[in-house]
Amino acid sequence: MRYGEQEYSTQNAAALLAEKVRLVRADMQELGAPAPEVYTSPARHYRQRAEFRFWHAGDDAFFAMFDPANPREPVRIDAFPPASLRINELMQRLRAAVLRVPALKRKLFQVEFLSTLSNDALVVLVYHRPLDSAWEEAARELAATLDAQLIGRSRGQRIVLGEAHVTERLQVDGRELVLRQPEGCFTQPNAEVNRAMLSWARAAAGPERDGLLELYCGIGNFTVALADRFDSVLATEVNKVAIAAAEHNLAANGIGNTFIARLSSEEASAALARERPFRRLRDFDLDAFRPGTVLVDPPRAGLDPRTRAQVAGFERILYISCNPQTLQRDLLALAATHCIERFALFDQFPYTHHLECGVCLSRR
């Protein structure tokens, strides 16, 4: 299946975005939000990540997705316009190689792609069988053919051929940001919109040279972009692989004013309130830390009550949200102490109902 030019067109993307913006603006009116700054996405080849089932049909095999209305019937995918050009090229070359080599094809169940604007790529092949030496030999040849990092997975096995990450290089406000993105960690799927989000966050951070507390920092996507706007940064995360990537990214970008701690948002609240000491903060001078700004980029569930109460104590709040409904709930709770200065909408996922939001709040 090749998706039609009309479906993935600038006109369709613009029309769908306009409707999404209208709905979110209506929901945000009661909060006194200003007119949103709207950031569009490219209409095609905007996704740096993609995942497909690999469907076997006799001697043939192909990439497939499934329609929720008919979940048992595979939809053949020969080209996928939302995915980057690099992913589309890899799809063609990988399928041709797999069809030629039985050791690669047998019980291949799923294929995952991760690419970057800097043309780095990683491919993950997931199997319903043990991976043996014949597979590894064929996979090494495939990785060289594709000029990509390659990982094989099956139950209890993970074989990494090359590196288990890609490296993104983003141009943001005249600077190049270098970001290691490991397999299995969350990364922003729409790199061009991510660039817009980072630039917006830097501008919304304001001129104050205070401290920044960042919750849910992940691999340091916002951390790396914002660190030079503050005197000191304390960033928290719980995923060990993401923390290792974030620490690498700080070093790769020459950032020395940031400390990353393996703390949940609840633990960060307890630490800042001096409720109990944390050994994971023993190398950070918490008493000298003067945070005036907090950045939160929570999961779709939004902020838990304790974290919401904690962020209400900051002069400035930068809130990045992937769920306008939980964002609205949290902003209603914060309205007693803060007002909305800036409001942005990022079309991270064109042709869907999803919108990424950015809100900058300041104390009343």
Minimal CA–CA distance to 322: which of 352, 361, 362, 291?
352
The neighbouring-strand residues paired with 44 are none
Query: Does the reported pTM lie above 0.85?
Result: yes
CATH 2.40.50.1070 maps onto the chain at 49-165
Cα–Cα distance for residue pair 230/268, rounded to 1 Å = 19
What are the tens digits of pLDDT across the range 271-288? 998 999 999 999 999 999
What are the tens digits of pLDDT across the range 304-345? 898 999 999 999 999 999 999 999 999 999 999 999 999 999
pLDDT at 223 over 50: yes
Active site residue 356: yes
CA angle 337, 343, 344 (to 5 degrees): 150
Q: Which CATH architecture has domain 10-43+167-363?
A: 3-Layer(aba) Sandwich (3.40)
What does the pLDDT average to over 37-62? 96
Active site residue 267: no
Report residue 35: phi and psi, to 5°: -55, 135
What are the tens digits of pLDDT across the range 108-144? 999 999 999 999 999 999 999 999 999 999 999 999 9
Which of 185, 217, 322, 360 is the catalytic position? 322
pLDDT at 30 over 90: no
Which fold would CATH assign to domain 49-165? Answer: OB fold (Dihydrolipoamide Acetyltransferase, E2P) (2.40.50)
Which of 168, 356, 357, 360 is the catalytic position? 356
Residue 2: pLDDT band with limits 50, 70, 90: very low
CATH 3.40.50.150 maps onto the chain at 10-43+167-363
What are the tens digits of pLDDT across the range 176-214? 999 999 999 999 999 999 999 999 999 999 887 899 999
